[in-house]
Amino acid sequence: MVPGFRWAAPTGLLLAVVAAGFAACVIANWPGHFPPDAIDQLGQGRTGVFDFWHPPVMAWLLGAADRILPGAPLFFVADAALFFAALAALALVGGGSWAAAALAAAICASPLALIYQGLVVKDVLFADAALAGFAAIAWAARLWDRRGARLTLVGLALGLLTLAALARQNGAIVAVIGALTLAVVDRTRAPRARWLRFAGVAGAAVAAMGLAGGLAEAGFRAHSDHQPEVARQWMTLQVYDLAGAVRRDPRWPLAVLHRSAPAIEAFIRGDAAPAYDPTRIDPMYRTGRWNAVLKTPDPIVGAQWRALIFGAPGLYLAQRWAAFRQVFLTPDIQACAPVLVGVDPGHPDWLRKAGLSARDTDKDDWDGDYASAFVGTPVFAHATYALLAVILLALAVRDLARRTHPELIVTVGLLIGAAAYAASFALISIACDYRYLYFLDVAAMAALVQRAALGFGPRASRAAATLSKT
């Protein structure tokens, strides 16, 4: 056998498979699928005035892409490139294998890669940036002794994780876990170092991301519409929880609102609670009285919400579980917008502002039909990927207990980050759109390809550990 052939041939095949997957994704989805949120954000990017209902980094990036090529198709191309590059990088850090190439081919053919990577939404941007950030940490661990490469990859990882935190309101959870993962990798290279070094590395990484993210947010706020969107988001969550609680127990007293804001109490009891839907908040908006009663954020609503949490924790947790069950287990997946293709026609004013036209071509129909064929199967089920993540995490911990090597430390960090991010929706979910937990799915898929490259058995793991030191 030619020296190196065992690794070179599978590696070449895996790279070819991922490159073909990326090309197929671009061809299938060009010029990108724009749901209403993306249309609104592209319009903001074109005008340079941002609101903060959605993270403004998305609007800024879309505006930059639109200036290069109208309609911003290059945004989805660059976003997809992050995903496919991260998938290949996480597999190749372990050396590559025939099994990894086969699994990569299956993932590239999955609608969660082939079609979802054409979806212009913050959830896909967040997932791709976070996945690429962990891939950069894995390669920094592999090349740790090469100072220049290590510093470059660490800087890249922190930049990507900062982008992830900017792209999703709860994405900071993953960025912090990425910083902790980096600190653990550093400690394995200096096992006799004091824990103060671990804290210092983690703290420095968090501080660097916080500084970069803070400067970006300051820049966006300088071009904001100065509307209290963040406060409105919190009030929206609070009203949703209160309505759900009253729907479950109509006799539960809204004492704070009854005393200080009877109009809001009347709205929650008479309009919001009857319209409550655990799959999404939209029916409450459609009652027609939301803007009349809740036009501006009211701290009284927050006071009543806290009274629910501390005064009736069982009722609050039951309401939260009902919402989280929908987004995590998707028992009514059709209500959770599993497939979004074309350009949504529902907001003509937004379309004009974005320079787009409504679109539903034959190619869009093919994309939608292909993705829809998998709806209702384990492919479109977050629980599938959660179970896969648990199995892969257990295998990684098993091998780390036998012989530590950096690839699996990063795998552990990636999967814990994905789980923590998904769990955060237990507290904030007000709708069950499938894309919200997309990061959990892609993290599990990427970790599976990496595990296939490293091998599944103890013997293969020891071989991979030896390889990682070369």
Q: What does the pLDDT read at residue 470?
A: 39
pLDDT one-digit tens code per residue, 201-257: 999 999 999 999 999 999 999 999 988 999 999 999 999 999 999 999 999 999 999
One DSSP character per residue, 69-101 reads STT-HHHHHHHHHHHHHHHHHHHHTTT--HHHH
- The average confidence (pLDDT) of the chain is 92
Best CA proximity match to 140, nearest among 399, 413, 396: 413
Q: What is the mean pLDDT of residues 121-132?
A: 98
Confidence of residue 399 (pLDDT cuts 50, 70, 90): confident
Residue 1: pLDDT band with limits 50, 70, 90 = very low
- Could you tell me how far CA 22 lies from the centroid of its own chain? 19
Averaged pLDDT, 57-86: 97
Q: What percent of the chain has pLDDT over 90?
A: 81
What are the residues whose beta carbons fall under 8 Å from the beta carbon of 47, sequence distance 6 or more?
353
In total, the chain counts a number of residues equal to: 470
- In this model, does residue 191 exceed pLDDT 90? no
User: What is the pLDDT at residue 467?
Assistant: 37
**pLDDT band, very low/low/confident/very high, at 4 (cuts 50, 70, 90):** very low
pLDDT the model gives residue 420: 98
Torsion, CA 68, CA 69, CA 72, CA 77, rounded to 10: -90
Please give the full DSSP string across 163-203, using - where no structure is assigned.
Answer: HHHHHSTTTHHHHHHHHHHHHHHHHHHSTTS-HHHHHHHHH
How does pLDDT run across 257-296, given as a tens digit for each residue?
999 999 999 999 999 999 999 999 999 988 888 988 888 8
Q: Encoding tokens for residue 110? A: 């999955």
pLDDT value for 457: 65
Counting residues of the chain whose pLDDT is more than 70, the rounded percentage is 94
- Side chain identity at 57, as an amino acid letter? V
Query: Which CA distances in Å does 334 have to 37, 62, 115, 395?
Result: 19, 28, 17, 34
Q: How confident is the model at residue 405 (pLDDT cuts 50, 70, 90)?
A: low
Residue (of 177, 166, 203, 97) closest to 415 by Cα position: 177
Identify the pLDDT of residue 464. Answer: 44
pLDDT digits over 312-368, tens only? 999 999 999 999 999 999 999 999 999 999 999 999 999 999 999 999 999 999 999
pLDDT of residue 461: 45
Which residues make Cβ contacts (< 8 Å) with residue 34, sequence separation at least 6?
Answer: 42, 120, 342, 343, 344, 354, 356, 359
More confident residue, 72 or 189: 72
With cut-offs at 50, 70 and 90, classify the pLDDT of residue 155: very high
- What does the DSSP assignment read for 426-447? HHH-SB--GGGGHHHHHHHHHH
Residues in CB range of 290: below 8 A, 6 or more apart: 267, 271, 272, 284
Model pLDDT for residues 452-468, shown as the tens digit of each residue: 988 876 544 444 444 34
pLDDT confidence of residue 419 = 98
Could you give the residue ranges of the DSSP H alpha helices within 337-457? Answer: 348-354, 362-372, 382-402, 406-428, 438-454
Return d(Cα 205, Cα 213) in angstroms, integer. Answer: 12
